[in-house]
Chains A and B, each alone.
Chain A
Amino acid sequence: EAGVAQSPRYKIIEKRQSVAFWCNPISGHATLYWYQQILGQGPKLLIQFQNNGVVDDSQLPKDRFSAERLKGVDSTLKIQPAKLEDSAVYLCASSLGRRSNEKLFFGSGTQLSVL
């Protein structure tokens, strides 16, 4: 079974630039999550999709972050414009059901450095 795929693996940008991350969840998984993990902290949920609808985006900084999940499969997370404090690992995860406390399968993440 293929795991959660994410790209790119690393990204370095300057502040005020824009960046996009891509995620392909495990086939058949209805729920997709984007987490932000800042160095020294635990992952923090940014947004949760069930199929192509948003379930929870309460912690997404909507003035600069956006995410979409077209056709209920792949997802992209965009930051525009980036700030220094956005430097973090962005993790995508998926789960079979809709409950976010069930077993999540994480991708390897995209490490973003904003200079």
Chain B
Amino acid sequence: DQQVKQNSPSLSVQEGRISILNCDYTNSMFDYFLWYKKYPAEGPTFLISISSIKDKNEDGRFTVFLNKSAKHLSLHIVPSQPGDSAVYFCAASGDSNFGNEKLTFGTGTRLTIIP
């Protein structure tokens, strides 16, 4: 049962344009979401996160939007740069107050920025 879904295995975007990566989840108990970025032969690195009490979080060129009613979040990268080419994983967790904070990862989207 895939509780976190990234339905686009790959995405190609022209340098300088906006990259939009999507993530859907099914578990309504999830209330904290993270994006990780992974280069080949390296471990994932944390990129940005958002709590369910917010609908937007911004960090430089990266913005994450959360639509709780649709159980959908997206990562926007503006402007896209060649160094952004990587695999992006969406991850979700439940309420830590109930000991339910184990991260569930999506399958990843490979982003390629075309110079």
> Which residue of the partner chain, among A42, A105, A107, contacts B106 with CB atoms under 8 Å?
A42
Of B37-45, B57-65, B72-80, the one with at least 4 CB within 8 A of chain A: B37-45
Given contacts A101-B32, A101-B34, A101-B101, contact A4 B43 (CB under 8 A): yes
Q: Contact between A107 and B103 (Cβ–Cβ < 8 Å)?
A: no
Closest to B45 in A: A106
Which of B32, B96, B102 lies at the interface centre, i.e. has the most chain A CB atoms within 10 A of its CB?
Answer: B102
> Which residue of the partner chain, among A41, A45, A108, A109, contacts B103 with CB atoms under 8 Å?
A45
Which of B4, B49, B101, B106 lies at the interface centre, i.e. has the most chain A CB atoms within 10 A of its CB?
Answer: B101
Q: Contact between A100 and B103 (Cβ–Cβ < 8 Å)?
A: yes
Interfacial residues of chain A within 49-98, with CB under 8 A of chain B in the complex: 56, 91, 93
Decide yes or no whether A30 CB sits under 8 A from chain B.
Answer: no
Q: Which residues of A contact B102 (CB under 8 A)?
A: 45, 48, 56, 100-101
* A91 CA / B89 CA spacing, docked (Å): 14
> Which residue of the partner chain, among B42, B101, B105, contacts A99 with CB atoms under 8 Å?
B101
Which of A93, A104, A107 lies at the interface centre, i.e. has the most chain B CB atoms within 10 A of its CB?
Answer: A104
Closest to B47 in A: A103
Q: Which residues of B contact A40 (CB under 8 A)?
A: 107
Q: Contact between B96 and A104 (Cβ–Cβ < 8 Å)?
A: no
Q: Contact between A106 and B43 (Cβ–Cβ < 8 Å)?
A: yes
B99 to chain A, nearest CB (A): 9
Q: Contact between A104 and B101 (Cβ–Cβ < 8 Å)?
A: no
B29 to chain A, nearest CB (A): 12
> Which residue of the partner chain, among B45, B46, B101, B105, contacts A43 with CB atoms under 8 Å?
B105
Closest to A111 in B: B41
Decide yes or no whether A44 CB sits under 8 A from chain B.
Answer: yes
B64 to chain A, nearest CB (A): 14
* A65 CA / B6 CA spacing, docked (Å): 29
Q: Contact between A104 and B46 (Cβ–Cβ < 8 Å)?
A: yes
Q: Contact between A108 and B46 (Cβ–Cβ < 8 Å)?
A: no
B102 to chain A, nearest CB (A): 6
A-B contact pairs, 8 of them (CB 8 A): A42-B89, A45-B103, A93-B43, A100-B102, A105-B45, A105-B46, A106-B44, A108-B43
